[in-house]
């Protein structure tokens, strides 16, 4: 059985669409756990309309953020697999069926991901991914990190298009609390440390980025807590040494982004410190040169460049 994890805060304008997309699934073996994260609008009134369906469970909590909401839902879940859906997104009716097929074919994986149609803030719609232009339609990755180093576009998924096994949940114990952006990336990177990852190019969901508030003005948090917590993975000898080395390389790439965003935030002191301590051998020469140039430029100019060139990529 799938346990569908759906956190919502002030979602009166779209929560019904999300819930209805679960009800429309062709694969029927599921329970839906909706966590009302202290909504102050009519979200709860809308959710109460679904209480006659015994498959739907509503948890009300004081506002604690999306990670707390997801974690509380997973603690209450009874399923063997946890499928995630954000309140402003929706699934096509083939989503859980596709997940079931991936799980049947690759039962040892911990993270399964389909491709989500992305509705951008500028009105454009993304229905294809660069990664699958040169790869099979479904890819099994024993070491997700290794592929991520080679091609960043392998990260084709968003929370709404992912599913994890209960074993993966038991290992990583949910999402990091207190992370303002990037909690899903940290969670998925932790799962990938212990389990294979399966991704497919099949579109089974819609990610409404135009409604997103978390990534509207920033694309990366330079104070991302994973920079400090990742040492736990480096020291965990149950993780293959090759994976631990690969994640160290990946974190140097994130350090490059961290440097860039400290500049954008106007904190050149921290940016210079990060740039100085980076392992330059683990980052592309072009990225090193870009950061070096940005460090010499006025912050106002860097911000304008970011708004035009690097938004969502820096």
Report DSSP letters for 77-99, one per residue.
--SSEEEE--TT-EE-TTHHHHH
CB 9 within 8 A of CB 38: yes
CB 179 within 8 A of CB 224: yes
Provide the whole-model pTM. Answer: 0.93
> 122, exposed or middle or buried, with CB in 10 Å at 0-12, 13-18, 19+?
exposed
Q: How far apart are CA 91 and CA 99, in angstroms?
A: 12
What stretch of H or E contains 110? none
Q: Tens digit of pLDDT for each residue in 238-254? A: 999 999 999 999 999 99
Assigned token pair, 27: 């694969």
Q: How far apart are CA 244 and CA 146, in angstroms?
A: 10
User: What DSSP state is assigned to residue 133?
Assistant: G
Q: What are the residue ranges in the chain where pLDDT is below 70?
A: 210-218, 310-314
Handedness of CA 63, 67, 68, 73 (dihedral sign): positive
pLDDT value at position 309? 72
Q: Tens digit of pLDDT for each residue in 122-133? A: 888 998 889 999
Q: How far apart are CA 183 and CA 202, in angstroms?
A: 24
pLDDT value at position 215? 47
Domains, the chain, in order of start with CATH, read 2-211 (3.90.550.10), 226-310 (no CATH)
Q: Tens digit of pLDDT for each residue in 196-237? A: 999 999 999 999 986 655 544 567 899 999 999 999 999 999
């Amino acid at each position: 059985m799938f346990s569908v994890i759906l956190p919502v805060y002030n979602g009166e304008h779209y929560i019904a669409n999300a819930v209805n997309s679960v009800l429309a699934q062709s694969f029927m073996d599921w329970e839906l756990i909706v966590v009302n994260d202290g909504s102050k609008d009519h979200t709860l009134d809308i959710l109460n309309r679904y209480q006659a369906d015994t498959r739907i469970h509503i948890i009300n909590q004081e506002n604690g953020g999306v990670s707390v909401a997801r974690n509380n839902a997973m603690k209450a879940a009874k399923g063997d697999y946890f499928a995630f859906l954000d309140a402003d997104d929706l699934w096509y009716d083939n989503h859980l069926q596709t997940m079931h097929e991936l799980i049947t074919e690759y039962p040892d994986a911990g993270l399964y991901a389909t491709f989500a149609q992305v509705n951008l803030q500028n009105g454009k719609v993304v229905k294809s991914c660069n990664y699958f232009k040169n790869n099979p339609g479904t890819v099994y990755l024993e070491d997700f990190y290794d592929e991520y180093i080679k091609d960043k576009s392998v990260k084709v998924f968003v929370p709404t298009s992912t599913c994890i096994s209960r074993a993966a949940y038991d290992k990583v114990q949910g999402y990091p609390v207190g992370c303002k952006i990037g909690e899903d990336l940290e969670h998925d990177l932790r799962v990938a440390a212990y389990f294979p990852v399966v991704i497919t190019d099949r579109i089974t969901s819609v990610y409404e980025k135009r409604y997103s508030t978390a990534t509207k003005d920033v694309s990366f948090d330079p104070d991302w807590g994973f920079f400090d917590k990742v040492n736990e993975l480096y020291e965990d000898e149950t993780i293959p040494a090759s994976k631990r080395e690969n994640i160290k390389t990946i974190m140097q790439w994130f350090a490059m982004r961290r440097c860039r965003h400290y500049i954008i935030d106007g904190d050149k002191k921290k940016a210079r410190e990060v740039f100085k301590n980076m392992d330059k051998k683990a980052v592309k020469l072009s990225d090193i040169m870009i950061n070096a140039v940005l460090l010499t430029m006025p912050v106002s100019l860097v911000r304008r460049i970011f708004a035009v060139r690097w938004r969502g990529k820096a």
